[in-house]
Structure 1
């Protein structure tokens, strides 16, 4: 399978939201219960730090996008990201390619930290993030309720070795 990384644009909206909803439905990807509209998604994600992985036919395999963690100037170089892979494309390196693209774009923009909160049950995501250079910061215990159940979230970060 050929994996091509491209900017995530509106042309992928329906596929992005479908992959997002599939991740939501599985129960270990996010506290969200429904995917946002494209307008909400588009407004929340930084336009220079969102990418689509597509196959040779242009079909979406997965996506990654970043948001600011704070408007405070001290956190100008810190983003939080989400990465989702189509169920049929898992185990093929898609998330690794997307994380590499995000690291490249954020470092070029002077962003020194990428963080992510991952449910501890999502072992595949934890493993791909570790391979991409993310380190464990800690576990936020019982940080939120998800379908009536308190859930922990593992906080990971990748500090740029280039931007110190």
Structure 2
């Protein structure tokens, strides 16, 4: 019997989270980043207290969601920028949804008022997931960054938590 879970991430998850992030980076559909992340890189998220939620099955993390400060200015204290990634073998199975639901609930409990992110327009799976969770597409940043020598647009998404 498969045992599914969603929980707060722990230090023992950092290598798997790095692996999942690096898959998304290699696929070129989720981030402008091109340098792989190490477990030590991910460990810093835990060291500074970023909320990281993981979801998986049979003790294997299949997805994670994390929130970072949006801007340093005090007026943006309740706004967080998030990322959600699912392992290739776990995509389309609800793990990203579970991790995001936990992150949303945590943000509400903390009194945050908004989660936001940017998504590549062709990342339809992520856009569909976020829409189903109540995120709205605000607009498009055109030529927001370069990836592999190509200018790429991003769709801005946000969800009000209050």
Q: Assess same fold via TM > 0.5.
A: yes
Q: Matched residue pairs, number?
A: 160
CA distance in 1, matches of 2:115, 2:4: 23
Contact 1:51-1:101 at 8 Å conserved across structures? yes
Deviates more, 1:147-156 or 1:84-93: 84-93
TM-score, with length taken from structure 2: 0.93
**Deviating 4+ runs (over 4 angstroms):** none
- Residue 109 of structure 1, CA deviation: 0.3
Superposition CA RMSD, Å = 1.5
- Partner residue, 2:27: 26
- Partner residue, 1:52: 54
Contact 1:48-1:105 at 8 Å conserved across structures? no
Contact 1:65-1:83 at 8 Å conserved across structures? yes
- Partner residue, 2:16: 15
- Residue 6 of structure 1, CA deviation: 1.3
User: Gaps spanning 5+ residues in structure 2: where?
Assistant: none
Give CA-to-partner distance per residue, 1:51-84, whole Å, 9 cap, x none. 11121x2111111111001111110000011111
Give CA-to-partner distance per residue, 1:98-145, whole Å, 9 cap, x none. 111011000000101000100001000000000000001100000110
User: Gaps spanning 5+ residues in structure 1: where?
Assistant: none
Superposed counterparts of 1:1-164, under 5 Å: 1-44=2-45, 47=49, 49-55=51-57, 57-160=58-161, 163=162
- Alignment partner of 2:35: what SS? coil
- Alignment partner of 1:129: what SS? helix
